[in-house]
Amino acid sequence: MIEIFRLTKYVLFQTVGFTILIAGAIAAAIMFVFFLYRWFSIPKKVLIPIVSVFFLGVFLVVFSSQGIPQSFKFPLFLKTFGPSTGPELPFKNISVFFRQLKNMEHVADIAKLPDDIPPPIKRNYPETVKVEMTAKEVVGEMADGVTFNYWTFDGRVPGPMIRVREGDTVELTLKNDPSSVHHHSIDLHAVNGPGGGHGATKVAPGESKTFKFKALNPGLYVYHCAHPNVATHMAHGMYGMILVEPEAGLPEVDKEFYVMQGEFYSAGGLGKKGLQIFDAKKMINGQPEYIVFNGKTNSLNPDNMKVNVGDTVRFFVGNGGVNLISSFHLIGEIFDKVYPEASIGGDYHYNVQTTLIPAGGAAITEFKMDVPGNYILVDHALARLDRGAWGVMIAEGEENLEIFDPMMDPLADDGHSHTH
């Protein structure tokens, strides 16, 4: 109940506020006319036109920069120039959302586990691979007590990692859960064909559609919902990645992780508790409240990112955006090899500190774990750490003092090092 109140608050403030503003102004005008007529005996014939012009002027000043709202939606004053539906939330969707809220699944953990990855492909021949995904609108927790209405592929953010081989034919079925409020679709950047599959997979709630494509180009590709307003669907969590392994496969490694950065735009400020309403204006302005890995704060931690000293490690890193470019960095390690922009088969970069992950793009990074400890993954635009853009990987095993020696005084247990 409190959640519903918090969600409606912003909407009510705008509609009710707007109505009161107009009603108030008209009432004030009538009283003003009455007052001048009674006390100064100015004839009504003169008064009414003067006062009307005065208040019309006030209205023009107030609305000249924003315009009169065309329809009831949140936010009220937003004019956009996209090729399709704008990012505003029509009030009728909000009422549908309330009616659906009870049926909507409340997920315990919205974060896709970074170690939840399909195994490497051992085949040396192409196949037809069937993939099934369900577009699902759920309620999940961004942080303690801060809940969001997430739109997802299979109930988690990011959606499942799809793994196929170059030359495979992918038969993809997209279902839209009957509890959904919105239409959804999928555009895979691994597709050669119009819309990346968007047109072929546009599904209404309860509907299901299948399309086929041949994975011609090896690489790690982002997929996302492409139903308009596309940015709005992505900013609710509708993205994931598909890996098209080259015919010969990727080099064998000991551990692989699946990580995607994304932004979330809530009307409530950073840390505001309760169910958060989506703020289209903040999205247009590129001012997210939350910037996180795998859908929420603290999603990547030593429980799900554990490696051993001596392991070779591979990160599949993507960026769902929708506005920011990620400066992906692992504090305390150097990426021995980076597949820039996740391109496979081209020129690789070696010995990289920070790699760029474009919005709607990806990178593959590989490194060998040299010494034990906690390693923090970040977007090195470091102010974003405070919005959630960090995670922790733990490496366990033997110290190697030749590579790293903290030179701790064995007699002091206060954890502070000293210099010699």
Q: Which helix (H) or strand (E) holds 25?
A: helix 2-40
Q: Which is nearer to Cu ion, 211 or 375 (CB)?
A: 211
Q: How far is the CB of 316 from Cu ion (least distance, A)?
A: 22
- Sheet arrangement for strand 390-396: 306-308, 390-396, 373-379, 326-331, 354-357
Q: Which is nearer to Cu ion, 233 or 314 (CB)?
A: 233
Token pair in block for residue 224: 């996302």
Q: Which of 111, 225, 359, 369 binds Cu ion (CB under 5 A)?
A: 225
Query: What burial letters (b/e) apply to 246-273, b meaning 16+ CB within 10 Å?
Result: eeeebeeeebbbbbbbbbbbbbbeeeee
Q: Are 332 and 375 in contact (CB under 8 A)?
A: yes
Restricting to residues 307-346, name those near Cu ion by CB under 5 A.
Answer: none
Cα–Cα distance for residue pair 331/351, rounded to 1 Å: 14
Q: How far is the CB of 224 from Cu ion (least distance, A)?
A: 8
CA atoms within 13 A on the CB side of 66: 11
Q: How far is the CB of 331 from Cu ion (least distance, A)?
A: 34
Q: Which is nearer to Cu ion, 225 or 363 (CB)?
A: 225
Q: Which helix (H) or strand (E) holds 258?
A: strand 255-264
Restricting to residues 227-266, name those near Cu ion by CB under 5 A.
Answer: 227, 233, 238
Binding footprint of Cu ion, residue count (CB under 5 A): 5
Q: Which is nearer to Cu ion, 176 or 276 (CB)?
A: 176
Cα–Cα distance for residue pair 358/202, rounded to 1 Å: 26
Q: How far is the CB of 46 from Cu ion (least distance, A)?
A: 59
For residue 35, count CB atoms less than 10 angstroms from its CB and return exposed for 0-12, middle for 13-18, buried for 19 or more.
exposed
Q: How far is the CB of 226 from Cu ion (least distance, A)?
A: 8
Which range of residues in 116-124, 201-209, 218-226, 319-327 is near Cu ion by CB under 5 A?
A: 218-226
- 121 secondary structure, DSSP code: P
Question: For residue 299, what are the contacts with CB-CB under 8 A and spacing of at least 6?
Answer: 111, 112, 114, 292, 293, 391
- 382 secondary structure, DSSP code: G
Token pair in block for residue 252: 């064998």
Q: How far is the CB of 174 from Cu ion (least distance, A)?
A: 10
Q: What is the distance, to the nearest Å, from the Cα of residue 239 to the centroid of all Cα atoms in its chain?
A: 8
Q: Which helix (H) or strand (E) holds 373?
A: strand 373-379
Q: Which is nearer to Cu ion, 85 or 353 (CB)?
A: 85
Q: How far is the CB of 236 from Cu ion (least distance, A)?
A: 7
Q: How far is the CB of 184 from Cu ion (least distance, A)?
A: 3
Which range of residues in 1-9, 93-101, 226-234, 303-311 is near Cu ion by CB under 5 A?
A: 226-234
Residue nearest to Cu ion (CB): 225
Q: How far is the CB of 177 from Cu ion (least distance, A)?
A: 11
Q: Is 283 in the site for Cu ion (CB under 5 A)?
A: no
Q: Which is nearer to Cu ion, 165 or 227 (CB)?
A: 227
Per-residue contact flags (x/-) with Cu ion for residues 81 to 100, judged by CB under 5 A: --------------------
Q: Cβ of 390: how many Cβ atoms within 10 Å?
A: 20
Token pair in block for residue 405: 């020696």
Q: Which is nearer to Cu ion, 225 or 342 (CB)?
A: 225
Q: Which is nearer to Cu ion, 226 or 378 (CB)?
A: 226
Q: How far is the CB of 69 from Cu ion (least distance, A)?
A: 25
Q: Which is nearer to Cu ion, 152 or 365 (CB)?
A: 152
Q: Which is nearer to Cu ion, 177 or 245 (CB)?
A: 177
Restricting to residues 162-191, name those near Cu ion by CB under 5 A.
Answer: 184
Strands (E), 296-340: 306-308, 312-319, 326-331, 335-339
Restricting to residues 351-370, name those near Cu ion by CB under 5 A.
Answer: none
Residues at the site binding Cu ion, with contacts judged by CB under 5 A: 184, 225, 227, 233, 238
